[in-house]
C-alpha cells in the first residue's frame, strides 16, 4: 500500500512539473510575442526605396510632424473615392496599375503607406496603421470634400486590419476585403492562443453597418481561404462573397481577369449606393 502511494505521489509530482514547464513556456512565448510582434507582422524593408516624392500623384497627408506618404489620383468631377490599404511587403506603388484603371472609370483613389513603409515616417505598428487610415479618411472627407457614403475602403491582406477597424468606427459607403484574416496571429495559429490579438477582424466584422464585399483565392497559401469564409458568415447583410477558384494570395486579380475585377468593383459600388448589392 505504501509503495502504491509513493508511486502515485511521484506521478502527481511529475504531472505538476510538466504543467509548470508548459505554463512557463507559454509565458515566455507571450513575452517574446509582445516584444517582437511588430517585427513579425510588418516587413517594410522589402519595399523601401522603390519610389521618391517626385512620383506623379504623391502627396504627404501627415500632420503634427508625421509624414504619411500617399498617392492621390482622380478628376475634379469624381464623386466616389477608393481608400486603399495595402498589404505587407507593399507600398503605394504596388497596385498602381489598378489605381489607374479605377481613375479611368471616374473614381478617385487615395492609397496610403503605413508608418515605416515607403516614404512614411516612423515604425510600423498596429496603432500606427489605425492612425494612418483614419487620417486618410479625414483627408478625403474634410479636405477633399467627399461625402462619407461615397468613400469605399479597400483592404488587401494585412491592410484588411486597418480597413475593418475604420469601417467599424466611421461611416463609409462600402468595405472591400481581399484575402482577409480573422486576426494577424491566427493566420499561423488558427485560433486565439495569445493574450494580444492584433488586427482582430473577427471581433469587428459584425459591427460594420455598410455593404461588404469579400474576395479570396481558394488556394491562398498565406491566409487560409476559411478565414474569409468565417468573416463573411459573421458579417451583417448586405454582403457578397467572391471565391476565386485556384487563386493564391496575390494572383486572384490575374485569375479573375482585370476587366472582370473592375466590373465587380463597379457593380459593388453601384449596389452599395442603394444600400444593397447586385
- Please give the chain's pLDDT, 278 residues, in tens: 666 555 565 656 655 565 554 444 444 444 445 555 677 789 999 998 999 999 999 999 999 999 999 999 998 788 899 999 999 999 999 999 999 999 999 999 999 999 999 999 999 999 999 999 999 999 999 999 999 999 999 999 999 999 999 999 999 999 999 999 999 888 876 666 666 789 999 999 999 999 999 999 999 999 999 999 999 999 999 999 999 999 999 999 999 999 999 999 999 999 886 444 43
Residue 212 CB contacts under 8 Å (≥ 6 apart), including other chains: 174, 175, 176, 177, 205, 232, 235, 236, 238, 239, 240
Pairing of strands 81-85, 108-112: parallel
Q: Where are the beta strands (DSSP E) in the chain?
A: 58-60, 69-73, 81-85, 108-112, 151-156, 174-178, 212-217, 239-244
Grid coordinates representing 192 are: 486565439
Please check whether residue 228 is in contact with residue 216, taking contact to mean a CB–CB distance below 8 angstroms.
yes
Superfamily of domain 44-273: Alpha/Beta hydrolase fold, catalytic domain (3.40.50.1820)
Mind telling me the catalytic residues? Answer: 157, 220, 249
Peptide bond into 87 cis (omega under 30): no
Amino acid at each position: 500500500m505504501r509503495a502504491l502511494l509513493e508511486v502515485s505521489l511521484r506521478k502527481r509530482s511529475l504531472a505538476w512539473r510538466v504543467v509548470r514547464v508548459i505554463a512557463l513556456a507559454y509565458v515566455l512565448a507571450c513575452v517574446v510575442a509582445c516584444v517582437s510582434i511588430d517585427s513579425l507582422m510588418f516587413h517594410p524593408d522589402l519595399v523601401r526605396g522603390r519610389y521618391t516624392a517626385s512620383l506623379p500623384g504623391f502627396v504627404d497627408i501627415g500632420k503634427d510632424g508625421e509624414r504619411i506618404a500617399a498617392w492621390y489620383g482622380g478628376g475634379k468631377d469624381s464623386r466616389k473615392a477608393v481608400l486603399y490599404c495595402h498589404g505587407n511587403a507593399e507600398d503605394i506603388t504596388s497596385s498602381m496599375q489598378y489605381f489607374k484603371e479605377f481613375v479611368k472609370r471616374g473614381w478617385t483613389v487615395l492609397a496610403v503607406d503605413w508608418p515605416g513603409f515607403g516614404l512614411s515616417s516612423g515604425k510600423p505598428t498596429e496603432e500606427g496603421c489605425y492612425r494612418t487610415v483614419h487620417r486618410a479618411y479625414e483627408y478625403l472627407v474634410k479636405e477633399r470634400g467627399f461625402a462619407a457614403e461615397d468613400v469605399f475602403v479597400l483592404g488587401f491582406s494585412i491592410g484588411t486590419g486597418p480597413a475593418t477597424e475604420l469601417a467599424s468606427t466611421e461611416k463609409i459607403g462600402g468595405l472591400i476585403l481581399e484575402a482577409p484574416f480573422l486576426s494577424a496571429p491566427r493566420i499561423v495559429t488558427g485560433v486565439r492562443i495569445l493574450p494580444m490579438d492584433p488586427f482582430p477582424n473577427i471581433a469587428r466584422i459584425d459591427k460594420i453597418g455598410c455593404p461588404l464585399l469579400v474576395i479570396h483565392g481558394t488556394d491562398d497559401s498565406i491566409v487560409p481561404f476559411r478565414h474569409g469564409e468565417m468573416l463573411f458568415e459573421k458579417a451583417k447583410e448586405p454582403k457578397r462573397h467572391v471565391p476565386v477558384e485556384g487563386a493564391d494570395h496575390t494572383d486572384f486579380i490575374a485569375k479573375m481577369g482585370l476587366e472582370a475585377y473592375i466590373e465587380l468593383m463597379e457593380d459593388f459600388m453601384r449596389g452599395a449606393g442603394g444600400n444593397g448589392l447586385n
